[in-house]
Structure 1
Amino acid sequence: MAQVVDSKKACAVNPLKMSQPLGASYAFMGLDRCMPVMHGSQGCTSFGLVLLVRHFKEAIPLQTTAMNEVTTILGGFENVEKALLNIKQRAKPSVIAICSTGLTETKGDDVEGYLELVRQRQPSLDDTALVYVSTPDYVGAFEDGFAKAVKAIIDAVVEQQDASNGFATVARDTQQVNVLAGSQLTPGDIDEIKDIIESFGLKAIVLPDVSRSLDGHIPEDWRGTTLGGTTLDEIRRMGNSVATLAIGEQMRAAALSLNERAGVPLHVFDRLTGLAANDRFLTTLSQISGQPVPARYRRQRSQLLDAMLDAHFYLGNLKVAIGAEPDLLYAAGMTLHELGAKLVSCVTTTHSKVLELLPVEQVLVGDLEDLEAAAKDCDVMITHSHGRQAAERLDKPFLRLGFPIFDRIGNSHRVMVGYRGTRQFIFDVANLMMAHIPHAGPDHWPLPEAAQRVAQPAAVTLPWPASRSPVSTNGVAP
């Protein structure tokens, strides 16, 4: 079990983490016809906007209440009211989602009280959903803000059902499941998850669904709000689902809230990258749907096993330094560990229960300076684009992972989940190492030390009895 410790430095040097308001804003991007708003100064919003635009290479709708010195001291009610009215008049959103910043949190603005007063004063906002989440940027990180925003959406939109009779009056749609998608998932990841769920004859309501808003498509028309995502009607229907699938530990609180409000059973998956993790996911979907695992996933699983065999020559005993948000760090780190790699340095941004499960002595809540110092004795460095200079200084192979990645394109379409996504992640790391090994290959043995350290692939368990194939001889799944 890993020990999670906080850095004792007086300041962050080359910060690794992104702020809570930015994480909350990203979650709100997954709602249809939504306008996210940061309640704070213009600079707070501008900084987050630049990061989102550079990462996705798309137009990002993000507004601000534009607090200044005077309004900060006297209170931000007028700024909030003006912002809501201007956004309603110009963009006509279905949802206006507000997150706080360090400025207004330090002042102590009662934004929930502001919104109640605005409702009373401005009937023109009656048909617009208002969601507020408290996200001070001097505590927590990107993942925390994202998780709080998803829970706030559920609490604001999903109706509380009668729990006195065990939610017996709730009409369940036996083919509908909820998917709470953590911040570590790309739009491409969400598309892959939806495809897998639909192959079992189920319908998925994903919250937030950035695969419909930030997938890099050309819209048929222009509007000032988000260009797709989870609709308000879909969120309201989440209480009628037969199950909730929470992807990432960060989504546990939101899944519990949905369970408390509507009695929806929950299944939390700490990751969907890796062999055993996807075996469990497919088995759960089979149990929920009552359908057998489709035949194509046995083929994909076999391909993943072959990829693990091909790649373990380059990943066995590979010394890895990773810096990422907790759920992403856990997904990537555990997958590499199962391939025989050694996690030498793990640096993260905030606390999470999954960090204690990592196969490393210590996980540091720190910055990229800490990662650079520990990566000197490692074979590869993995983090987002802000770590590229450190990798250059150390002359280490560098894999870009997480948010933001602004010096590469196609970030929306990267897939790291499912059997296919896991296979691609393994290929990416193995190919990176091959590119940094002179004359690597069976015709040029021996390989350098990093590639010679070979470990056996992790033991695997089939999601069906090993004595028989999940596909019968006539090609029909049993």
Structure 2
Amino acid sequence: MSDIIKRSKPLSVNPLKSSATLGASLAFLGLRRAIPMMHGSQGCTAFGKVFFVRHFREPIPLQTTAMDHVATVMSSDENVIEGLRTLCEKSRPDVIGLPTTGLSETQGTDIQRLLRSFRLQYPQHAHVVVVPVNTPDYAGSLETGFAQAVEAIIETLVPVSQHAGRRRRQVNVLANASLTPGDLEVIRDWIEGFGLRAVMLPDLGDSLDGHLIEAEYTSLTLGGTPRDEIISMGESVATLVIGASLGRAADALRTRTGVPDYRFDHLMGLDACDLFTETLSMIAGVAVPEKIERHRAQLQDAMVDAHFMTGFLRVALAAEPDLIAGMQALLAGSGAEVVAAVSPVSADILKRLPLARVQIGDLQDLEREAARQQAQFVIGSAHAAQVASRLGLPLLRAGFPVYDRLGDCVRPWVGYRAARQALFDIANLVLENHHDTPVYRSVLRPGSQPGHDIALAATPPHAGLVRH
């Protein structure tokens, strides 16, 4: 059990958190022929779009209701209704995501009432699904907003039914915010290896994986989960829930459809991968494929090879709660120890982790705690680069956003092969930042010759990392 240390400052000095509105928009980007429209000012949407474009390096379809000073004071109802009408007529999407922002929430906007007004005024657009979700950016984080959007998608699109198991080879996958497009491709291949078919919600692996299309321009998402497949989720044989943050969404899907679910906090590290593999084998009723067994053996060999560098490595970690849980399991399996953990928000999963304490705060808190605990390694987003530089420690980039490395946005972290690569990367960073251990000269032999100096041969490779 971890002690959760609450915020002790009235402000963020070096922000770690991304807003819940951004998280909800990210979830909508995983639906096919969809477009999110933030209900707020133009600046809120433009700022979020910059984050997405820099992270994914892809065109991002994102719209705004463009609240100005007049709409903020008087009423923004027309902004929402006219914005929905314009999108329906010009872009013709299948799904419109409608997350709120801090500005509209502070104004007291009733987003559900505005949607009903839109339906009454423009019944010709009834075929376009609109998913409203309340995500003020002054509460929660990217992970919580993402989870709220997934829950809203389920409640809007998945009909109440009693047809669980009708599609005997189909399984639902609820994917949390910490999973990259590369992770989703790994999970899909993992499931298909057992002869099953996956319906991913949302499917960023199909929409933001970085592929080119023939069309020069599109105002909607390039891929993602089709609306018809979301509707069919009630006929699946099982639901695989990846991420503790999706607990409420999983509850909603099970209540509406009766489809049994299997929940996993993460899929990082040997134990988590084994549990997921055993579950798939049980659902499919087949033995584990030889290829997966070989991938497992490769990870075990990598754990043996890397433990000289990762054993007793003291790590400082800053990320969303689900990613902290996954990284902690991966590191613990290789002999490393998380001595400083900082999360932007509190969550139940943090209390279950075998850590001494988890700080709710920002990157300044991470820097102070890492220095106090004499950390030797840092894991965090691109925003943690300056922290690692000041501490003189190597940084493994993970989470959102990562804008100073190509390919990290689609890098897989889940599964046997991804865990193997992560251990190699950690070990190599430790080796690259290893400094020669200074020669020890015994005070008991002041006249000893250089050839008789005693070196600290038992010192681990990472003990020489420079700390300031």
**Do Structure 1 and Structure 2 share a fold, with TM-score over 0.5?**
yes
Distance change (3 Å), C-alpha of 1:191 and 1:447:
farther
User: Residues of 2 paired with 1:261 and 1:5: CA distance?
Assistant: 37
Counterpart residue number, 1:288: 283
Q: Following the alignment from structure 1 to structure 2, what is the Cα–Cα distance between the partners of residues 385 and 447? A: 34
Output the CA distance in 2 between the equivalents of 1:5 and 1:155: 34
Quote the Cα distance in structure 2 between the aligned partners of 1:171 and 1:203: 13
- Structure 2: how far apart are the matches of 1:124 and 1:224? 21
Partner of 2:392: 395
- Map of 1:179 onto structure 2: 173
Aligned counterpart in structure 1 of residue 339 of structure 2, from 344, 354, 359: 344
- 1:388–1:452 CA distance, 2 compared to 1 (3 A): closer
Structure 2: gaps (5+ residues): 438-454
- Distance in 2, matches of 1:235 and 1:448, equals 55
Query: Which residue number in structure 1 is paired with residue 447 of structure 2?
Result: none
Rate the CA distance shift 1:447–1:381 in 2: closer, same or farther, 3 A.
farther
Residues in 2 aligned to 1:34 and 1:258: alpha-carbon distance in whole angstroms: 21
The TM-score with structure 1 as length reference comes to 0.90
Distance across 1 between alignment mates of 2:106 and 2:415: 42
Question: CA 1:434–1:260 in structure 2 vs 1: closer, same or farther (change >3 Å)?
Answer: same
Counterpart of 1:472 in structure 2 is none
Q: Is the 8 A contact 1:214 1:412 kept in 2?
A: no
Kept in 2, the 8 Å contact 1:415–1:424? The answer is: no
Deviations 1:331-374 (A, max 9, x none): 01121012111111000011222211222211011000000111
Give the secondary structure class of the aligned counterpart of 2:277. Answer: helix
Superposition pairs for residues 162-177 of structure 1, below 5 Å?
167=162, 170=164, 172-177=166-171
Partner of 2:74: 74
Alignment of 1:199-214 (within 5 A): 199-214=193-208
- Equivalent position of 1:60 in the other structure: 60
Alignment-derived partner of residue 374 in structure 1 = 369
Deviations 1:251-272 (A, max 9, x none): 1211111100000101111110
Q: Deviations over 1:306-345 (max 9, x none)?
A: 0000001101111110000000111011210121111110
Which of residues 226, 234, 253 is equivalent to 1:231?
A: 226
| Alignment partners' CA distance in 1, 2:409 and 2:318 | 20
Q: How does 1:51-450 map to 2 (within 5 A)?
A: 51-161=51-161, 167=162, 170=164, 172-221=166-215, 222-376=217-371, 377-438=374-435, 446=457, 449=460
Aligned to 1:47: 47
For 1:127 and 1:69, locate their aligned partners in 2 and report how far apart those are by CA, in whole Å. 33
Asked if structure 2 preserves the Cα contact closer than 8 Å seen for 1:316 and 1:451, the reply is: no
Runs of 4+ more than 3 Å apart: 444-453
Q: Quick one: percent identity of the two aligned structures? A: 47
In 1, the alpha carbon distance for the partners of 2:164 and 2:21 equals 34
Find the residue that maps to 1:212 and give its secondary structure.
helix
Do 1:379 and 1:450's aligned partners in 2 also have CA atoms closer than 8 Å?
A: no
Which whole-Å CA distance do the structure 1 matches of 2:320 and 2:131 have between them? 25
What letter is aligned with 1:429? I
Provide the C-alpha distance between the structure 2 equivalents of 1:360 and 1:196, rounded to a whole number of angstroms.
30
Alignment partner, residue 476 of structure 1: none
Matches of 1:106 and 1:413, distance apart in 2: 35
Q: Greater shift after overlay, 170-179 or 147-156?
A: 170-179
Do the aligned partners of 2:402 and 2:409 also contact (CA within 8 Å) in 1? no
CA contact (8 A) 1:182 1:251 kept: yes
Question: Aligned with 1:211: secondary structure?
Answer: helix
Q: Which amino acid aligns with 2:202?
A: P
Deviation at 1:417, TM superposition (A): 0.6
Flag the structure with larger Rg: 2
CA RMSD of aligned residues (A): 1.6
Q: 1:171 to 1:315 in 2, by over 3 A?
A: closer
Structure 1 residue matching 2:422: 3-state secondary structure: helix
Counterpart for residue 473 of structure 1: none
- What letter matches 1:331 in structure 2? G
2-structure distance, mates of 1:379, 1:285: 38
Cα distance in 1 between the residues matched to 2:337 and 2:111:
47
Is the CA contact 1:323–1:368 (under 8 Å) kept in the aligned structure 2? yes
> TM-score if structure 2 supplies the norm length?
0.92
SS at match of 2:168: strand
Q: Is the 8 A contact 1:313 1:451 kept in 2?
A: no
- How far 1:82 sits from its partner (Å)? 1.3
* CA distance in 1: counterparts of 2:98 and 2:240, whole angstroms: 26
Shift of 1:125: 1.4
Count of residue correspondences: 444
Equivalent-residue separation in structure 2 for 1:280 and 1:170 (angstroms) = 23
Provide the secondary structure at the position in 2 that maps to 1:306.
helix
**Cα distance between partner residues in 2 of 1:160 and 1:23:** 26
SS at match of 1:335: helix
Structure 2 counterpart of 1:423, which letter? R
Residue of structure 2 in register with 1:451 after alignment: 462
Q: Is the 8 A contact 1:180 1:208 kept in 2?
A: yes
Counterpart for residue 452 of structure 2? none
Q: CA offset at residue 445 of structure 1?
A: 8.6
CA gap 1:343/1:436 in 2 versus in 1, 3 angstroms: same
Offset of 1:5 from its aligned partner? 2.1
Contact 1:343–1:359, Cα closer than 8 Å, also in 2: no
The residue type paired with residue 402 of structure 2 is: I
Deviation at 1:450, TM superposition (A): 5.4
Q: In structure 2, what is the equivalent of residue 470 of structure 1?
A: none
- Aligned partners of 2:273, 2:247: CA distance in 1, in Å? 18
Aligned to 1:458: none
Partners of 1:450 and 1:141 in 2: CA distance: 37
| Structure 1: tracts of 5 or more residues without a match | 162-166, 454-478
In 2 relative to 1, CA 97–180 (structure 1 residues): closer, same or farther, beyond 3 Å? same
Please give the alpha-carbon distance, in whole angstroms, between the structure 1 residues aligned to 2:43 and 2:326. 33
For the residue of structure 1 that corresponds to 2:186, the secondary structure is: helix
Structure 2 distance, partners of 1:38, 1:344, is: 38
1:389 to partner: Cα distance: 1.0
Amino acid at match of 1:435: E
Local SS of the residue matching 2:378? strand
